[in-house]
Amino acid sequence: MGAVTALLVGFGLTFLAHGMLDLDIPKFSDTALFLSVTFFSFFLMITAVLSILGISGVAIFALLLFFGASLLALAPEMMSSFYRGWIHPWLPMRFMVDGLRQLFFFGKGFGWNAPVAALTWISLVSGIVILGTAVKVRVQKIDRTATASRP
């Protein structure tokens, strides 16, 4: 369901920006595919954090958005040294912004580049964490039922 939603969001958002807002998107399908990969990566990352920490993991993403939203509009050269050195490298949203900059302003297409590679690694690690927590919960349930059935 997450992959289908990612495709709908990627192509839907690109269609809304191009069709309704009349933004000039030079490579429609490349932008839509990149946004789909980005959405799926963030979906897996948020799901992995929530599967480990529970609902309290939402605070992590609230802090990331609070400290990162204003920074993403700036070029890294315009940031203070503290933000450039300590906050910017830890923002997962920066890969989305870097990829969109390459698509919009530098004429590059959707392909294997640094932002796509980083988003792919985020997806792989998040998927492993999700599977690991699912196995851990299943093992705990089996242990509980085994101890409850003992006389």
pLDDT digits (tens, 9 = 90+) for 73-103: 777 788 888 888 877 777 778 788 888 788 7
Domain segments of the chain as ranges:
1-54+96-148
115 alpha carbon, distance to own chain's centre = 11
- Comparing C-alpha atoms, which of 71, 70, 95, 69 is closest to residue 84? 71
CB neighbours of 15 closer than 8 A, spacing ≥ 6? 32
What is the per-residue pLDDT across 27-85, written as a single tens digit (0 to 9) for each? 888 888 888 999 999 899 888 998 888 888 888 888 877 777 777 777 778 888 888 88
Mean residue pLDDT across the chain: 82
